[in-house]
């Protein structure tokens, strides 16, 4: 499986590249033709800074931001995004302000929630949501629901990869999309072409990695 891996660089900045492993994978909701290894983008400080610069571009001169909410291990990127948005300059709208970077937790019903000491950074605040990937939209929709419940105003959603950019509004921006990956497919389990051909699953995908089967 891993011997078929390849990388896709971001055209504007080849330092930012996405490692892709083709195969037959499953998530909680879908079967997918490729695993996207985005770990280096999220944990390598130098690369994460470059990622943050790219993700901050749509907001620097046009959007007031109070809080960055990070999902799926994007906290390092979120911190660098805040730093980028707070730079001084005539075209930087947020310079001189405070931007908080926070992460929700899951309750016993697997619903997202914010702890009491974080809720003040959500209520009536302008929020950017940062996620690793948007495949089915389940995770991002859950986050948007939680932010709405706590009274936040979402002014942007930034993703490292978005499999369905046409399904989402102008609030969404992504570095990579499914068109960047040859033959990228997402299937409902009972409609999966791999399963119909008798091809066994290679691994189960989680937000921070995968487990081989």
Q: Where are the domains of the chain?
A: 2-212
Q: What is the phi-psi region of residue 92: left when phi exceeds 0, alpha when psi lies from -120 to 50, beta otherwise? A: beta
pLDDT at 86 over 80: yes
Phi and psi torsions of 87, nearest 5° = -60, 145
Q: How far is CA 61 from CA 12, 42, 83, 94, 202, in A?
A: 20, 25, 14, 8, 44
Q: For residue 89, give every residue at least 6 positions away whose Cβ sits within 8 Å of its Cβ, in sequence order, or none.
A: 95
Q: Residue 94 — very low, low, confident or very high, per pLDDT cuts 50/70/90?
A: confident
Q: At what angle do helices 45-56 and 75-85 cross, to 10 degrees?
A: 50
- If DSSP codes are grouped into helix, strand and coil, which group holds residue 173? strand
pLDDT at 2 over 70: no
Average pLDDT of the segment spanning 54-76: 94
Residues 171 and 156 sit within 8 Å (Cβ to Cβ) = yes
Q: Distance between CA 149 and CA 171 in Å, rounded?
A: 19
pLDDT at 90 over 60: no
Q: Minimal CA–CA distance to 63: which of 151, 143, 146, 125?
A: 125
Report the first-to-last Cα separation within the chain, whole angstroms.
12
Q: Distance between CA 15 and CA 62 in Å, rounded?
A: 27
Global pTM exceeds 0.85? yes
Q: What is the CATH T-level fold of the domain 2-212, as seen in this structure?
A: Rossmann fold (3.40.50)
pLDDT of residue 196: 94
DSSP state of 199: P
- If DSSP codes are grouped into helix, strand and coil, which group holds residue 108? coil
Phi and psi torsions of 35, nearest 5° = -100, 130
Q: How far is CA 38 from CA 18, 21, 82, 181, 189, in A?
A: 6, 11, 20, 14, 24
pLDDT at 123 over 90: yes
Helix (H) or strand (E) segment spanning residue 134: strand 126-134
pLDDT at 115 over 80: yes
Residues 52 and 81 sit within 8 Å (Cβ to Cβ) = yes
pLDDT tens column, 182-201:
899 999 999 999 999 999 99
- If DSSP codes are grouped into helix, strand and coil, which group holds residue 176? strand
């Amino acid at each position: 499986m891993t011997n078929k891996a390849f990388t896709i660089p971001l055209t504007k900045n080849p330092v930012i590249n996405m490692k892709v492993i083709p195969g037959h994978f499953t998530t909680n909701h879908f079967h997918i033709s490729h695993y996207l290894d985005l770990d280096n983008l999220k944990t390598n400080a130098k690369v994460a800074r470059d990622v943050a610069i790219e993700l901050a571009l749509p907001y620097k001169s046009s959007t007031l931001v109070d809080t960055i909410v990070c999902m799926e291990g994007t906290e390092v990127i979120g911190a660098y995004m805040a730093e980028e948005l707070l730079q001084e300059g005539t075209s930087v709208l947020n310079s001189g302000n405070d931007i908080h970077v926070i992460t929700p937790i899951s309750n016993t019903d697997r619903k997202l929630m914010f702890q009491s000491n974080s809720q003040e950074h959500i209520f009536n605040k302008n929020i950017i949501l940062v996620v690793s990937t948007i495949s089915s939209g389940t995770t991002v929709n859950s986050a948007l629901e939680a932010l709405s419940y706590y009274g936040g105003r979402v002014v942007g959603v930034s993703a490292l990869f978005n499999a369905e950019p046409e399904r989402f509004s102008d609030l969404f921006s992504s570095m990579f999309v499914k068109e960047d990956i040859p033959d990228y497919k997402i299937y409902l389990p009972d409609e999966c072409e791999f399963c119909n051909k008798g091809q066994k699953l290679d691994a189960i995908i989680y937000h921070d990695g995968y487990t081989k089967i």
